[in-house]
Amino acid sequence: MENPVFVLVHGAWGGSWCWRDMLTLLERRHVRVRCVDLPSSRNGSPGAIALADDVSELVLATERLEHVVLVGHSYGGMVITEAAPQVKGLRRLIYVAALVPLVGESATDVSRLVRVRTELDDAIEVEGEHLQLTPRRAESALYGECSSETREWAVSQLSSQTIASFRSPRSSAATDVPTFYVKCRNDRAIDPGLQNLLATRCDEHLELASDHSPFLSHPHHLLGALVD
């Protein structure tokens, strides 16, 4: 692919901050890269902010780009799937421990395809129209293989997440671009069994011996998966 631009889409409770180490590695390889901050994951966002709002933000960020590779982590898989038909320069979709919905499925629906309770489930607390994460449990669920310094930093960055974003179903049609799934074998947030199932919805897949956040715990391995 000629001079692709990687557009990185974070998961729930996250932000572009989570790609800190990947940005450094990609820039060293002279790879064009952009990050998107999803409205549903911003502290103080109205409870009505849903998948469509996240998609609008992503489409806006890609409207003048060519040779686009969308990379979605966790809930970000919902966003890149829904946005795909609207991204004119799209060349590939890459899912990293991500949700891959069929038409009509919401993030909640996809997460329940395999009925296994994870450490992330135990970390979630409902506050009105938003979901929060208990810091101690979130640290283990999301960043178990990161250094203690990185875990502490990442947990301090976590935001709230609108419930509406998890309940929004996919409505977009399929695209004909190649799809690739990166499974995380040691994931405590999205069960590896569920990832095995979702990977079958993609054209190709590989597996990393990683927790839910390889961009922080194993950035060099994830770089290889994305670029090589």
207: CATH: 3.40.50.1820
pLDDT of residue 125: 98
DSSP per-residue string spanning 190-224 = S-HHHHHHHHTTSSEEEEES--S-HHHHSHHHHHH
pTM of the model: 0.97
Structural domain that includes position 97: 5-227
pLDDT of residue 1: 64
Region 149-164: mean pLDDT is 98
pLDDT of residue 59: 98
User: How many domains, the chain?
Assistant: 1
pLDDT of residue 2: 76
Which residues have CB under 8 Å from 40's CB, separation 6+? 12, 49, 50, 51, 53, 54, 161, 162, 164, 165
Kindly report the average pLDDT of the chain as a whole number: 97
Does the pLDDT value for residue 190 go beyond 80?
yes
Region 133-159: mean pLDDT is 97
pLDDT of residue 228: 78
pLDDT of residue 122: 97
pLDDT of residue 151: 97
pLDDT of residue 207: 98
pLDDT digits (tens, 9 = 90+) for 36-71: 999 999 999 999 999 999 999 999 999 999 999 999
Region 111-115: mean pLDDT is 97
Tell me if 72 sits within 8 A of 7, measured CB to CB: no
